[in-house]
Chain A
Amino acid sequence: MDGEVTPIAVRAATDARSERELLARARLHVELTATLSGSLNLRRTVLRLLDLITPSIADWAVLALVDNSGGVVLHGGHDQAFTTALSRVVIEGTGMDRVLRSGQDELLHVAVELDSTDGLDTMIPHRRLRDEAAGLRPADVLSLALTTRGTTIGALVMVRGAGRGFPDLDVELAGVIAAQASIALDSARLYEERGRVASVLQASLRPPDLPLVPGARVSARFRPADERMDIAGDFYDIHGSGDDWLLVLGDVCGKGVEAAVLTGRARQSIRTAAYFDRRPSVVLAALNHVLCEVHSSRFVTVVCARFRPAADGLSAEVDVSVAGHPAPILVRADGTVDQVEVAGIVAGVIADASYTDVRVTMRSGDTMLMFTDGVDEARGSDGFYGMERLLALLPSYAGAGPMALCEAVEQDVVEYLDGRAHDDIALLAVSCGT
């Protein structure tokens, strides 16, 4: 049969039903739509569909979804979470293949005789699943084509045991579910495919894992303006080895994906420049040059620090250079707090700009905090968070280490925002000594 119930049958069925039943059907339809549209994740949508069908509509169900190579992936059976892939060759010529190719539904009856598994063989081309279904004989097998947006994307195979059969009304209901499920599954698949592209591209733009720096401890925090994303216009990086490390933190003008792409370029330029000369002022000059050459209207602010711990681990020489960025703050072990006095023009605006290095000495227990303007320019009910609030918070965290310091700043700023929107926030801190 062809799934569509004939108009005469519909009329007869409608006459037989009370208004209350119709209302219940309408409610079920709304609930169905809401249930199936709640998830954009393909696997979760599959689970919900199977959960919806069994046991209320069928005793047993398997969903077959066509994959990119023409094979199918089967989901369900007695264990709803079961899943297995079948190649094109395995399904060719089976009843399932027929449903997938023709887009036409089929209803089969499988008798109780032990050797009579023909119908199941053809509709369920998988041994374990077929055996499960065979256990329900005498069984009726309803295979619905899942067609949406002009393509048959899969088939839903439902089995009812003990000769209960599928009356016309239930076939009709199953058809409604299949139609809703087709759209939900197809949307979830589109989302998943796009998501895969995005996550691969995003992986290269995500903040890096921090390396172990001998004679020091480092920590970072990162909170994009769009909290659904893992990438933003703020960035940080640490590269180096042994007793010579470069710590970089910066902010590309703008937000979101466009800004994140530029952070990738900036990070790469900095890494390459540092390969030739590790002085922060020279690295920033090189970055500035590269950004000016690409004629991008976007500019970048960066703070760059070269951290060189002494052999005894009790102190470190740090050269700091900035390009239009707030200077880092030094939190001394004794609670003294100072902002390093260093300045420089943003990178990407004036081609021959030059930068200066300022040297500071850190001792054991001292921490240097680098931050982006998402911190001091966070807007709460009292206006900007501001540098004064930041400088007042830090002394009590002297000696507490970079992780506690970064967490305290992030928490204080986010609590200050009290749910308001914010710019990207990035923090990078390094403490001298272990």
Chain B
Amino acid sequence: MTGFDRALSEVDGEAAVAVVLGLIADGADPLAVLVDVVAAGQRRVGERWQRGEWSVAREHAATGVSVLATEAIARHAERVPVTRGRVLVACAEREWHLLPALVISTAMRLHGWDTVLLGASTSPARLSQYLQDVGPDATAVSCSVLGALPTTRRFVEASTTAGVPILVGGSAFGPDDRRAVALGATAWAPDAHGAVALLDHLPAVVPKAVPLRGDRFVEQAAVELGHNRLVEVLRGRWSATTSGGAPSFDAACGEALHQAVHAVSAALLTGDPRPIPDTAWWIDRLLTARGADSRLVAELGAVLALAVRDFPEAHALVVGHWPGGLLVPEGERAS
């Protein structure tokens, strides 16, 4: 276990800060420390939660330690003179993972950009206010959860209406630029290094994003609006949530339901079906790590397909892309 992992595990902020500042004092590239130590350590934190080794609270506490370490690097980055323009770094609504945005902002600052970081879960109205007040050269949006993609699209509209290029990245965009292009973003970056490299090549002014029109988007809006109702319907029909289990298992199942509905919404919004199988496999790992049977995931696919049967596009996406065949639950057989 590395010193940084130990600090995360023991929730020792001072030790984590000492590790990263020590590496930088020894001549390590601060951006490399940010990406290879802090971001990598944080990824292992997420994996520990997913494997059921750590509770949500423990994951949050460890994340707090990563934030402290990143802030220490950010303070170090303040010494770098500003030689380039200004970037507004933001997280869309429902994106509570501030750390990736903080990492991106710090990486850009280290490269001579002046950055303004808005907090977690920011509304489009707040972003717009900052676009007018700051007049940035670019907007950078970090999106790690599928549920934040719809507001990220609003961010694209806000930014491009002001003519400001918008760079997006984060795990919710998947392994390529397909979703980013679908949302009308100016550019997509696979990681912090890529984001910094792209900044130098963004156009000064971009045209307003093309409006999204069509059945897919009408359905997406309806699924988004009915999100909580859909989750409740699923909760009442999925055997994992109707039979009752340990509180931590119930919490994981609740999270799975939200993610499943967000995946449908993300697939409708971007025209990329991959969020659906990706989310199914993610739920599979989440539940099997907590002792559940993989058949629960197949069953969830069937329950989900039934719940969205009034939305033809959404229904086709679930039926066509939820893996493992569809196990139709007893008494819910669709005609």
Across the interface, do B129 and A228 meet the contact criterion of CB distance under 8 Å?
yes
Across the interface, do B60 and A217 meet the contact criterion of CB distance under 8 Å?
no
Across the interface, do B162 and A408 meet the contact criterion of CB distance under 8 Å?
no
Stretch at the interface among A40-48, A56-64, A343-351: A40-48
Partner of B126, one of A38, A228, A400, A434: A228
Q: Answer whether residue B132 sits at the interface, using C-beta atoms and an 8 A cutoff.
A: yes
Q: Answer whether residue B149 sits at the interface, using C-beta atoms and an 8 A cutoff.
A: no
Q: CA separation between A271 and B285, bound complex, in Å?
A: 53
Q: Bin the interface of chain A by size.
A: 35 or more
Q: CA separation between A227 and B119, bound complex, in Å?
A: 11
Q: Which residues of A contact B163 (CB under 8 A)?
A: 35, 38-39, 44, 47-48, 51
Across the interface, do A44 and B60 meet the contact criterion of CB distance under 8 Å?
no
Which residue on chain A has the smallest CB distance to residue B133? A195
Q: Answer whether residue A404 sits at the interface, using C-beta atoms and an 8 A cutoff.
A: yes
Across the interface, do B132 and A408 meet the contact criterion of CB distance under 8 Å?
no
Q: Answer whether residue B85 sits at the interface, using C-beta atoms and an 8 A cutoff.
A: yes
Q: CA separation between A397 and B164, bound complex, in Å?
A: 40
Across the interface, do A414 and B204 meet the contact criterion of CB distance under 8 Å?
no
Q: Which residues of A contact B47 (CB under 8 A)?
A: none
Q: Which residues of B contact A51 (CB under 8 A)?
A: 163, 204-205
Interface centre among B56, B67, B133, B161 (most CB of A within 10 A): B133
Interface centre among A44, A381, A397, A410 (most CB of B within 10 A): A44
Q: CA separation between A246 and B161, bound complex, in Å?
A: 46
Q: Which residues of A contact B94 (CB under 8 A)?
A: 415
Q: Which residues of A contact B55 (CB under 8 A)?
A: 396
Q: How far does the Cβ of A408 sit from chain B's closest Cβ, in whole Å? A: 6
Chain B proximity mask over A399-410: 1 for CB below 8 Å, otherwise 0: 111011001101
Q: Which residues of B contact A90 (CB under 8 A)?
A: none
Q: Answer whether residue B125 sits at the interface, using C-beta atoms and an 8 A cutoff.
A: yes
Q: CA separation between A63 and B14, bound complex, in Å?
A: 52
Q: How far does the Cβ of B303 sit from chain A's closest Cβ, in whole Å? A: 22
Report B219-247 residues with CB < 8 Å from chain A CB. Answer: 228
Q: Answer whether residue A148 sits at the interface, using C-beta atoms and an 8 A cutoff.
A: no
Partner of B208, one of A38, A40, A44: A38
Across the interface, do A41 and B205 meet the contact criterion of CB distance under 8 Å?
no
Q: CA separation between A414 and B123, bound complex, in Å?
A: 12
Which residue on chain A has the smallest CB distance to residue B225? A419
Across the interface, do A407 and B96 meet the contact criterion of CB distance under 8 Å?
yes
Q: CA separation between A400 and B56, bound complex, in Å?
A: 10
Q: CA separation between A399 and B128, bound complex, in Å?
A: 38
Q: Which residues of A contact B125 (CB under 8 A)?
A: 227-228
Q: Could you give 10 example pairs across A and B, Cβ below 8 Å? A: A41-B131, A41-B133, A44-B135, A81-B137, A81-B204, A199-B133, A228-B129, A397-B61, A403-B67, A414-B121
Chain B residues with a Cβ under 8 A of chain A: 11, 13-14, 55-58, 60-61, 63-64, 67-68, 85, 93-94, 96, 120-123, 125-126, 128-129, 131-135, 137, 161-164, 204-205, 207-208, 228
Q: Told that A34-B208, A40-B132, A227-B126 touch, could you supply 8 new A-B pairs with CB distance under 8 A?
A: A38-B208, A39-B131, A228-B129, A229-B129, A397-B61, A407-B120, A419-B93, A434-B13
Q: Which 3 A-B pairs have CB atoms at the shortest separation, nearest pair first?
A: A41-B135, A400-B61, A404-B60
Chain A residues with a Cβ under 8 A of chain B: 34-35, 38-44, 47-48, 51, 80-81, 191, 195, 199, 217, 227-229, 381, 396-401, 403-404, 407-408, 410-411, 414-415, 418-419, 434
